[in-house]
Amino acid sequence: MDRIAEIEIRKVEKNQYFRLSNEMDIKPKDFVLVEFTQGTIDYGKIYKIYETKNIPFHTISGKVIRKLNEKDFIIIQENNLKRKEAFNICLEKAKSYNLPIRLIDVDFSYDRTKVTFYYWAEGRIDFRRLVRDLAKIFNCRIEMRQIGLRDEAKIKGGYGVCGRELCCASFLKHFESITYKMVKNQKLPLDENKITGLCGRLFCCLIYEEDFYTKEKVEKK
Domain locations in the chain as residue ranges: 3-68, 78-147, 160-219
pLDDT tens digit string along 161-182? 888 888 877 777 777 888 888 8
Q: Is 180 helix (H, G, I), strand (E, B) or coil?
A: helix
How many residues are listed for the chain in this entry? 221
pLDDT band, very low/low/confident/very high, at 221 (cuts 50, 70, 90): low
pLDDT band, very low/low/confident/very high, at 20 (cuts 50, 70, 90): very high
Q: CA angle at residue 107 from 94 to 65, to 5 degrees?
A: 150
Describe the crossing of helices 70-81 and 83-96 by its angle, rounded to 10 degrees: 30
pLDDT tens digit string along 96-151? 999 999 999 999 999 999 999 999 998 889 999 999 999 999 999 999 999 988 88
Q: Which pLDDT score, from 0 to 100, does residue 109 have?
A: 96
Q: Report yes or no on whether pTM surpasses 0.75.
A: yes
Residue 53 has pLDDT above 70, yes or no: no
- The CATH homologous superfamily of the domain defined by 3-68: PriA, 3(prime) DNA-binding domain (3.40.1440.60)
Whole-angstrom Cα distance, residue 36 to residue 187? Answer: 48
Q: Is 6 helix (H, G, I), strand (E, B) or coil?
A: strand
- The CATH homologous superfamily of the domain defined by 78-147: K homology (KH) domain (3.30.300.20)
Among 111, 117, 106, 118, smallest CA distance to 62 is for 111
Contact (CB, 8 A) for 141 and 108: no
pLDDT band, very low/low/confident/very high, at 218 (cuts 50, 70, 90): low
